[in-house]
Structure 1
């Protein structure tokens, strides 16, 4: 079983590198690098969600070899994951065994917060730090600020300009995961159930929006449990 992982806004594939040894035999964790960061620094940022989902679709298909696979995405990564799944379905491509969407409300949820991607640097940096995943030291250092500010702006532009278009439910099971202190309400998470014809499991874990970043053990345990179950069901199918 391959598990493809998509990062949140401002992050790169490196955040999942420790996961590669966490699953043991049977599950191969494959962090996907989005354009404009990490080893893809020279690739232009996405101009919209279609660009992002087409690119991720290509990345996934490069690694597909006939073995089963699942997709995990946190926050922005969950949004891109959903749109990529729609492309997989519409083009009759190899289907994922499961979708794991973390820290993201159901498509079509109205976000009442004010867009921030066009704010002046100082205000933008302050808002990013307030969200909890970015150290203020990054913006205090000019080299780090110059490196990360364009990535963060591009990612938030992608998120804040995304417009969901009503579509048929997917055919695959979805596990939706969020922190207990997450700003998204239970109703906004349960809304995922209408986006699949299969099972939709909602799981809350201790913490806020970035509940797993410092202590990923609980999340990894959940992923192992569900992937192991899927592998077992396939053996007896």
Structure 2
């Protein structure tokens, strides 16, 4: 069984990666991209649910957790380029897979395409959660320009943020600017989505009650010439942290085996 580890830099001492487990002889490296407003700790509970030979690391974007003092990024293509440059060395020694939820799925897809375009090692598997594939219509737009009240109500409806956080003005003062930056990043993606197809297997996961419908999820099939799998679980947008957390992680673990 994996054990979680204290926050520290990942292979190559890059600030873009935070290890989630100890793995003495890894077969595969899994890189996890958090959703909007979140940092590496979104995946802190995953360490014990993955195969023993999978080394798990979380993407650490500027503006949150240990990189709180750095300005958050708001342009999709610039962010993908920066992430790929920051983690490139981690993509070389081992076969790797990418997992992303919501905004993280959009970034994982972009990084996978960028790796392939630059002639580097392509991912063994791309797992995308909580967002629609190419050509789907975003269920909500323009959130980067919403008022604080509108943002809080939207976060409450999605269910991914603790109520005590939403009710604490001091915490919201810290959190809402990160969400605004990440929502601007999403708008940038929707305005100019990446183009290209992968050859690796792609798995799409989603909540049955999410704004992103199963039809939206199924559009990820067009992202690859390889095998495609689509699965839905009980719950809403944050099914990964709700009642479906266990089954969803089991599905990820099975795909990585």
The one of 15, 25, 28 aligned to 2:52: 25
The one of 176, 187, 207 aligned to 2:215: 187
The one of 213, 220, 242 aligned to 1:214: 242
**Corresponding residue of 2:227:** 199
Q: Residue 108 of structure 1 aligns to a residue in which SS?
A: coil
CA distance in 1, matches of 2:136, 2:76: 16
1:173 aligns with 2:197: no
Displacement after TM superposition at 1:214 (Å):
3.1
**Corresponding residue of 1:231:** none
**Corresponding residue of 2:118:** 91
Displacement after TM superposition at 1:195 (Å):
1.5
CA distance in 2, matches of 1:210, 1:152: 16
Q: Which moved more, 1:53-62 or 1:94-103?
A: 53-62
Q: Which moved more, 1:110-119 or 1:197-206?
A: 110-119
Please, which runs of 5 or more residues in structure 1 have no aligned partner? Answer: 229-237
Deviations 1:130-178 (A, max 9, x none): 2211134223323211211111111111112322446231121100011
Deviations 1:21-51 (A, max 9, x none): 3225211111111111011112211130012
CA distance in 2, matches of 1:185, 1:74: 15
TM-score in terms of structure 2 length: 0.83
TM-score in terms of structure 1 length: 0.89
Please, which runs of 5 or more residues in structure 2 have no aligned partner? Answer: 1-27
Q: Residue 202 of structure 1 aligns to a residue in which SS?
A: strand
RMSD: 1.7
Please list every run of at least 4 consecutive aligned residues from structure 1 whose deviation after the TM superposition is greater than 6 angstroms. none
**Corresponding residue of 1:143:** 170
Displacement after TM superposition at 1:60 (Å):
2.8
Q: Residue 212 of structure 1 aligns to a residue in which SS?
A: helix
CA distance in 2, matches of 1:114, 1:76: 13
